[in-house]
Amino acid sequence: MAITLTEELVLLCEGQADKAFFTTLLRERSAMPKFNIPFPESRAELEDGREPLGGRDNFGVMLRAIRVPLGFRNVKGVLIVADSADNPEKTFELICDQIKMAPGYEVPGALCELSERTDTSPHVGVMTIPDESNPGGIETVYAREILETRDWLAGCIKSFLSCGEIHALDWPPEKADKARFHSMVAAIYESDPSRAASMIWKRRGATLLMDINAQCFDSIEQRLRSFASQVG
């Protein structure tokens, strides 16, 4: 079934895991603005069994693509959300290059700033996760939330990720946080130790591993609200 875009605000994210998080956040927290949340996912890649490219390298394609279903709608703002990865500023530059690949769109001047709205472009903003100052990704925030209620786990995970020939903690920050998060899931989530980040907010009878109302997600909520209110 094709994805229908109907809202005035679009949140363009990197993949299924991000979409699952933002969908849950926007649904569960009160009086949140309404966003459509598409992400790059090539059907041909999926059908051919190729690993989807997805992610920030396809934002340009997606910006062009969303113009087709959104053509008649009064879209006011497109918020591009990506992992900070190793360097939020560098990620921002990469995303700006992607925006330039979609003629007509205006490029914002900085992270969490809005571009002007024009005849060919809605307001465009870029935000990174965990925030605009730190490296990492959504798993960084997830790991933080899990440790909020299980501080004893930090030492175990640290020991595991630096045990023997394992040097995962020396990996780039985003990768290290992914390793940290998935190690936590494997260690404590009996319902599904191999649960993927894209499925982490699905209930199917199991107790959720994290609380979407936890404080560590508040800053993300605030930035979404801020974007919506600035767009007007």
Partner 1 sequence: MQRNSQEKSADAGAPVWLDSQPPSQSAIVLGTALTGQSPSVVSRSAGYRMIESLEIENFRPFKKAELSGLKRVNIVVGDNSSGKTAFLEAIFLASASNPQIPITLRQWRGLEASPIGTTTDVYDALWNNLFNNFDRSKTINIAMHGSENDSRSLAMFFRQEAELTLPLKQNGGATGELKPSTGIYQPFVFHWKSPATPDVILTMRSTASGLQVEGIMHESSMRSAFIPAHAQTSNQYTANLFSSLSKQNKELEFVSALKLQFPSIQTVSVELEAAASAIFVSLPWLKQKIPLALYSNAASNLASILLNISASPRGIVCVDEIENGFHYKRHSSVWEQIYNFADVYETQVFATCHSLEFLRAGVPVVRKNHGDFCLIQVLQEGGISRARINQGLDAADAIEHGLEVRS
Residues that bind partner 1 (CB under 8 A): 2-5, 38, 40-44, 61-62, 64-69, 71-72
Minimum distance from CB of 183 to partner 1 (Å)? 32
Measured from the CB atom, the residue of 33 and 52 that comes closer to partner 1 is 52
Q: Which is nearer to partner 1, 31 or 44 (CB)?
A: 44
| Gap between the Cα atoms of 126 and 103, Å rounded | 17
The residues near 210 (Cβ < 8 Å, ≥ 6 apart) are 142, 145, 146, 200
* Maximum Cα interatomic distance, the chain, rounded to a whole number of Å: 58
Pick 70 or 176: Cβ nearer partner 1? 70
Q: How far is the CB of 92 from partner 1 (least distance, A)?
A: 23
Comparing CB distances to partner 1, the nearer of 16 and 226 is 16
Q: Which pair of tokens denotes residue 76? A: 């006011």
What is the smallest separation between the CB atom of 138 and partner 1, expressed in angstroms?
A: 21
Give the burial string for 102-111 (b: 16+ CB within 10 Å, else e). beebbbbeeb
Cβ atoms within 10 Å of 26's Cβ, excluding its own: 17
Per the structure block, which two tokens stand in for 174?
């985003």
- Min dist CB 61 to partner 1, Å, is 5
Nearest CA-CA partner of 123 in 12, 3, 6, 5:
12
Q: How far is the CB of 175 from partner 1 (least distance, A)?
A: 26
- 42 versus 198: smaller Cβ distance to partner 1: 42
